[in-house]
Amino acid sequence: MPRTPVSTLSSQSAVPMPPVSSARFAIGDVVRHRLFDFRGVIFDVDPVFANSEEWYDSIPEDVRPAKDQPFYHLLAENSDSSYIAYVSQQNLVTDDSDEPVDHPAIAGLFDGRSQGRYNLKAEHRH
């Protein structure tokens, strides 16, 4: 039986990587959700969707974001509470209010603010 060359096998079985867009925001940026009334400080970035399928499927289809874009972890707040949010890039805009974000975890990750951004503590930088 003839053998298939390795180069042919790898090209046939390769799974294409989803396109990855560039992150528009950075750790420490203050952002606002474009549809819902909350804002927050970015503390981590995933280049593409990296949460559970159950979480993704719980988003109503008419507002469900594409997976092939950056997703941001936020120390978020609204008028009622503080929490952690996971938000797609398409649903975030820069918050220009210059108001501080009132979240209890900020002091553990950030060392104050300058020029509208929170400064990540040195021990949390990679």
Question: What are the tokens at 76?
Answer: 């978020």
* CA atoms of 91 and 40, how far apart (whole Å): 13
Cα–Cα distances in Å, from 35 out to 14, 38, 79, 80, 119?
38, 9, 15, 17, 27
pLDDT at residue 4 greater than cutoff 80: no
Q: Which helix (H) or strand (E) holds 45?
A: strand 39-46
pLDDT at residue 81 greater than cutoff 70: yes
Cα–Cα distances in Å, from 6 out to 1, 3, 12, 27, 51?
15, 9, 10, 42, 34
What ranges do the domains of the chain cover?
Answer: 20-124
pLDDT score, position 126: 61
% residues pLDDT > 90 (the chain): 78
pLDDT score, position 10: 46
pLDDT in tens, 16-55: 655 557 899 999 999 999 999 999 999 999 999 999 999 9
The arrangement of secondary structure in 20-124, i.e. its CATH architecture, is Roll (2.30)
